[in-house]
């Protein structure tokens, strides 16, 4: 008798597709979001083990990422022969960790504020997308910050979780979102997290190496949805992608700059510090119209990534060779 060895991969594929559709239809839960709950738990853990050194930071990252990963492994093992339950769990996890619809909505809301000339509302909305200080930003700088955030978060909140879900299923989804959340919490440069946050930041960088480059390539491929030219987008991506100080953000931002025909980069002011980054792309600074185009690019990239993730999950299931029970040998 042959074991249904391919069922877990097929169930994961169904769950990934269903979770993607749930996010596309409903977006993030407005209340009781599991990721917010994880953030609260991680903050409590930080209070218990914080010390201004890398060893404590490594322990923090190992516990905070390891627990969700082990929970995912346990759930995957428990539902190995329960395909409906497994698909439901993967669907719920995928919906929880994706943020594509919310990201696109925020970009369009910002575009509406800029179209209306309502800079106060636009500045107040920027913290939904990034951590820059909006106080002194004019319309082009608000638009630039939004495009850059949409580009980077298309990888972080859409492509990367789908990639890890396709490759590893439920534990991949949960571990990636945990690592990415920790990076947002403690991975930034500040006196408190200069050493404590190193492990979280490097773990997030490592997990995003493949997804960020895939995001760049997919952005180039879908650039016509924003009126872009794939050949030009590819040229800009290849020229500028390694100029960014982040090993991953430049992959996404340069491709988006090429797809939209705009110039990104420059001086970014955060609360208490500033950074000057190289320019990415050619052309004018972004405006409100580019925010809607960026949302279309992000949506198309997410759809393509979902298709790839489903395909990878199916291939992963088929790669597990069926085995026979000892009593069936020789039949």
**3-state per-residue secondary structure call for 214-278:** HHHHHHHHHHHHHCCCHHHHHHHHHHHCCCCCCCCHHHHHHHHHHHHCCCEEEEEEECCEEEEEE
Which region among 97-101, 134-138, 176-180 has the lowest average model confidence (pLDDT)? 134-138
3 state DSSP class of 29:
coil
Q: What is the mean pLDDT of residues 151-177?
A: 97
274, pLDDT greater than 80: no
321, pLDDT greater than 60: no
d(CA 138, CA 114): 10
Q: Is the dihedral of CA 303, 308, 313, 315 positive or negative?
A: positive
Which region among 18-27, 99-108, 273-282 has the lowest average model confidence (pLDDT)? 273-282
The percent of residues in the chain predicted with pLDDT above 90, rounded, is 78
In this prediction, residue 324 has a pLDDT band, given cuts at 50, 70 and 90, of: very low
Q: What is the mean pLDDT of residues 102-127?
A: 94
d(CA 178, CA 67): 9
Position of tokens 């420059």?
Answer: 266
Please answer whether residues 57 and 186 qualify as being in contact, where contact means their C-beta atoms are separated by less than 8 angstroms: yes
Which region among 15-29, 30-44, 64-78 has the lowest average model confidence (pLDDT)? 30-44
Q: At what angle do helices 83-97 and 170-186 cross, to 10 degrees?
A: 20
- pLDDT of the residue at 288: 94
State the chain's mean pLDDT as an integer: 91
Better-predicted residue by pLDDT, 28 or 167: 167
- pLDDT of the residue at 159: 98
| Token output for 91 | 């669907």
d(CA 89, CA 299): 24
Burial per residue of 190-207, b for 16 or more beta-carbon CB atoms within 10 angstroms, e otherwise: eeebeebbbbbbbbbbeb
Please answer whether residues 173 and 161 qualify as being in contact, where contact means their C-beta atoms are separated by less than 8 angstroms: yes
290-313 pLDDT per residue, tens: 999 999 999 999 999 999 999 999
- pLDDT of the residue at 197: 93
253, pLDDT greater than 70: yes
- pLDDT of the residue at 273: 73
Which region among 1-15, 158-172, 244-258, 292-306 has the lowest average model confidence (pLDDT)? 1-15
Please answer whether residues 200 and 100 qualify as being in contact, where contact means their C-beta atoms are separated by less than 8 angstroms: no
- pLDDT of the residue at 310: 97
Q: What is the DSSP letter of 285?
A: P
Better-predicted residue by pLDDT, 192 or 317: 192
């Amino acid at each position: 008798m042959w074991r249904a060895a391919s069922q877990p991969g097929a169930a994961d594929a169904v769950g990934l597709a269903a979770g993607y559709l749930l996010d596309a239809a409903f977006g993030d839960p407005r209340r009781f979001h599991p990721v917010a709950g994880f953030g609260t738990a991680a903050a409590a853990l930080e209070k218990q083990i914080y010390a201004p050194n890398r060893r404590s930071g490594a322990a923090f990252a190992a516990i905070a990422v390891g627990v969700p990963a082990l929970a995912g492994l346990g759930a995957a093992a428990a539902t190995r022969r329960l395909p409906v339950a497994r698909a439901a769990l993967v669907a719920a996890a995928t919906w929880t960790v994706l943020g594509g619809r919310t990201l696109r909505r925020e970009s369009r809301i910002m575009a509406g504020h800029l179209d209306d000339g309502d800079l106060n509302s636009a500045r107040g909305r920027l913290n939904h997308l990034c951590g820059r200080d909006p106080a002194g930003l004019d319309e082009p700088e608000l638009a630039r910050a939004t495009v850059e955030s949409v580009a980077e978060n298309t990888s972080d909140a859409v492509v990367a979780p789908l990639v890890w879900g396709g490759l590893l299923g439920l534990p991949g989804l949960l571990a990636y979102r945990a690592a990415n959340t920790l990076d947002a919490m403690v991975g930034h440069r500040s006196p408190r997290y200069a050493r404590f946050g190193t492990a979280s930041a490097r773990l997030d960088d490592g997990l995003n190496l493949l997804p960020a480059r895939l995001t760049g390539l997919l952005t180039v491929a879908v650039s016509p949805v924003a009126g872009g030219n794939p050949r030009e987008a590819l040229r800009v991506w290849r020229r500028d992608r390694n100029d960014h100080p982040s090993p991953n953000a430049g992959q996404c931002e340069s491709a988006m700059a090429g797809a939209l025909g705009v110039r990104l980069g420059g001086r970014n002011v955060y609360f208490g510090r500033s950074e000057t980054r190289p320019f990415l792309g050619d052309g004018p600074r972004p405006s409100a119209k580019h925010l809607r185009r960026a949302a279309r690019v992000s949506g198309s990239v997410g759809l393509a990534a979902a298709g790839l993730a489903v395909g990878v999950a199916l291939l992963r299931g088929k790669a597990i060779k069926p085995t026979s029970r000892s009593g069936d040998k020789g039949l």
